[in-house]
Amino acid sequence: MDKDIPAHVGIIMDGNGRWAQKRGLVRTQGHLEGLKTAKKIVKAASDLGIRYLTLYAFSTENWKRAAEEVGFIMGLVKQYLRAEFDFSKKNKIRTRYTGDLSGLPQDIQKEINDSITDTSSFEGMQVVLAINYGGRDEIVRAVRRFASHNNKNGAEYSEALNKISEEDIGGYLDNPDIPDPDLIIRSAGEYRTSNFLLWEGAYSELYISDKLWPDWEKSDLESAITDYQKRERRYGGVKSA
């Protein structure tokens, strides 16, 4: 692999349900397989030298699914966080979180917080778990945080509001210390971002693969990175001479 490894990669892990349906299995089997793939890709990303990996595990819209499926995914999150501590320690992988933690069941909140604390000194790749995450919701929460930290009155308040900059909003997002994703990958062939990293992904390169998430291998991540390395990033500017 070339040296230009993206610092931050986001992944929309789509296609678990279709993977199961194709095999005559229940959807939850697809999620179980999806979790195994997530572990494999976390290791592969860490070995490739990616610094931050954001995994979209559950969106603010996924609550619309059947209670059984929602409960199953929450169980997998718990299982992942509990079972992976040794793996995280060995590979120095730090757990981070993005989303509305307060909207998750208490036991899941605790698992996430424990994993964040237990891995906080690890200096390898940071895995950002997007669970109960919505890009619009994150922006709304950032604006609310901004407003509560600028708790002024009358004219002072409207002056503060008029001065809001992109940096201000960006600074109140869930993880302002993490750079914007260079590359956003989506499996299972759908051409949309589904409310993932709306603000942070403004200039991310997109890579969409037809392969269903449970079928992903390290080589698929490598193909995505090779494709990314051919892109010319202009950030709205013009091609440099």
**Residues 13-42 close enough to bind ligand FPP by CB under 6 A:** 13-18, 31, 34-35, 38
Catalytic residue among 2, 16, 62, 113: 62
* Cα gap 211→206, rounded to integer Å: 15
Q: Is 86 a catalytic residue?
A: no
- Which of residues 31 and 94 has its CB atom nearest to ligand FPP in the complex? 31
H or E segment and range at residue 112: helix 106-118
* Cα gap 236→230, rounded to integer Å: 17
- Which of residues 38 and 142 has its CB atom nearest to ligand FPP in the complex? 38
* Cα gap 217→220, rounded to integer Å: 5
**Residues 169-188 close enough to bind ligand FPP by CB under 6 A:** 188
- Which of residues 172 and 186 has its CB atom nearest to ligand FPP in the complex? 186
- Backbone φ and ψ of 19, nearest 5°: -60, -45
* Closest residue to ligand FPP in the complex (CB): 17
**Residues 99-158 close enough to bind ligand FPP by CB under 6 A:** 129
- Other Cβ atoms within 10 Å of 210 Cβ, number: 10
End-to-end CA distance of the chain: 26
Quick note: the x/- pattern for ligand FPP over 65-104, rule CB under 6 A, is --------x--xx--x------------------------
User: Is 196 one of the binding residues for ligand FPP (CB under 6 A)?
Assistant: no
Strand-pair partners of 126: 52, 94
**Catalytic residue numbers, as ranges:** 14, 62
